[in-house]
Structure 1
């Protein structure tokens, strides 16, 4: 099959990391990048040796030079850009959160089905070697029955209220940007929870800045999760079972080490050696799925994304963090002229 040609929408931090890691993917070519600013597009293209620099997202989406569009723009733009890409027959890898809510995602997946286009949420962590190893150990019964999950994702975030992380118009807040990872981890192993609770701190811009989330399952499993954009932490994750536990190294979502500890305290540690941050693994997954003619990845399926957003919807509703797109629904005419009615809830 011909090399899959990739185009990147957006030139922020994540786009840079993705472009850097692209060289480590076994197949695929990075062909194009689009920004809303000519200088930014040009400098990104020259830095990452990309042939085409475009100054309009839609030029890239409609370009004949691109097979797959990687969407790395702010959360609030994902729905509209992914929709345009699907309608243009392009495969889509869209940064997490795939959309701002479950309803938007459902609409996009139905559209992808209709147009027979491959679409995946860019949950890069799912394809990291440490995660693959943990899945294998749990499936092999190495820790007995999985009972508990602890996971956190904290860092010292920006203070500028206009920054995408704090701006409700851009889908800001800790939950959608980083809390999504601990929730993803819990649901990867235990599926959609039966009980959802959280305690959140809402900042001055009406988005969440610090939260602890407790998920529970009917048959007795619990997940204790934390996210913060106020302060840093080692960001560890632990899977505990009846016969032992699995501990990820620091920054578990891209950990290079993982340890299996049995109930008799015997330890087995594995180190992973790979270049870059590990975005190449999700790139390879997309290329593989395209080669096999799949519309979704069996390893991070449409249902996985819907389940994730469904839980995030529930947590956000409880927190009182509301985005415009939650209120307008998904009618595409409505999307054209947003209703700017903010409902502010303070805790």
Structure 2
């Protein structure tokens, strides 16, 4: 099997973490990087010993030297770049949130299916050994019937209004950047919620700074979640069951340890020793899937990704948070749906 050659679009913080962890992947080679700033591209390629540095995203996307592309730009650019990659026949690992909304995501997955190209949202936490262990415990009934998930993702972000997290033009705010993780954890075990309630605090730049989300399922499960760009928290996660609970240690989304506490306070702790931050595991998954000829990961499917963004869409709708350009798309979609309704009347 030939070694898959990877390219990275974007040279920010997340791209650095990803490139550092690439040293720990089972297979694959980091061949190229692209930044619109030549200095950044050159510096990044020198730091990680990457052969090719492009100053134009599309030169990388169309390069014959690259098989798989990791998109690490601000959220608002994901859709266009992922679309270009699929059309160029390149496999894609796109940083979360996959796109700004469900409609964009659905379009990309449909296109990937049509073009037979592998694509996955970079939900790296799903492939963390701790999360794999927790899934196993829950599936084996170690804590009995799972009733609730509590999870936070809080940190104090830069307040500079032009920073991507504070900038509505770049798809900023707590929900899409970090709230996506607690919602992911709840849906990993319970699926798409039947009921959604939330309270949010918006900042001066109109992005959401802080929210608490309560999700409910008709089957009787609940999730209590929090995301904040303005406060600190231990960022642990607790899964409560009828026979015990599981605690995922701080910070749960990149944890190295977890414990299960059963009746009579019996405790079993598991610790995983892995290098880096843990981005290598999603790369291993992508390489494995491509080698097996899959277009999506069975462990984090297109459906999982769509159900996640659909929940985030509903929460944003409730908050009243929309991003520039979204209204236009929704209007087109409504016209489209309207057209279909007329079509049905003819039958």
TM-score for the superposition, normalised by structure 1: 0.95
Q: For residue 330 of structure 1, report the CA deviation from its aligned partner.
A: 7.7
- 1:212-241: CA deviations, max 9, x gaps? 000000011000000000012110100000
Task: Quote the residue 1:307 is aligned against.
Answer: 307
SS in 2 for 1:211: strand
Gaps of 5+ in 2: 333-347
CA contact (8 A) 1:215 1:224 kept: yes
SS in 2 for 1:246: strand
Matches within 5 A, 1:328-347: 328-329=328-329
Distance 2:68 2:170 in 1: 24
Distance 1:331 1:208 in 2: 24
Matches within 5 A, 1:1-347: 1-329=1-329
TM-score for the superposition, normalised by structure 2: 0.95
SS in 2 for 1:321: coil
Distance 2:198 2:158 in 1: 23
Distance 2:4 2:72 in 1: 18
Q: For residue 95 of structure 1, report the CA deviation from its aligned partner.
A: 0.2
CA contact (8 A) 1:100 1:325 kept: no
Distance 1:308 1:219 in 2: 19
SS in 2 for 1:329: helix
- 1:286-329: CA deviations, max 9, x gaps? 00000000000001100000000000000000001111242121
Distance 1:80 1:310 in 2: 19
Distance 1:307 1:325 in 2: 22
Distance 2:124 2:176 in 1: 15
Structure showing the higher helix proportion among its residues: 2
Q: For residue 193 of structure 1, report the CA deviation from its aligned partner.
A: 0.3
Q: For residue 128 of structure 1, report the CA deviation from its aligned partner.
A: 0.1
SS in 2 for 1:23: helix
RMSD: 1.0
CA contact (8 A) 1:153 1:181 kept: yes
Gaps of 5+ in 1: 333-347
- Which portions of structure 1, spanning 4 or more consecutive aligned residues, are displaced by more than 4 angstroms? none
Query: CA 1:238–1:122 in 2, change beyond 3 Å: closer, same or farther?
Result: same
Distance 2:309 2:115 in 1: 23
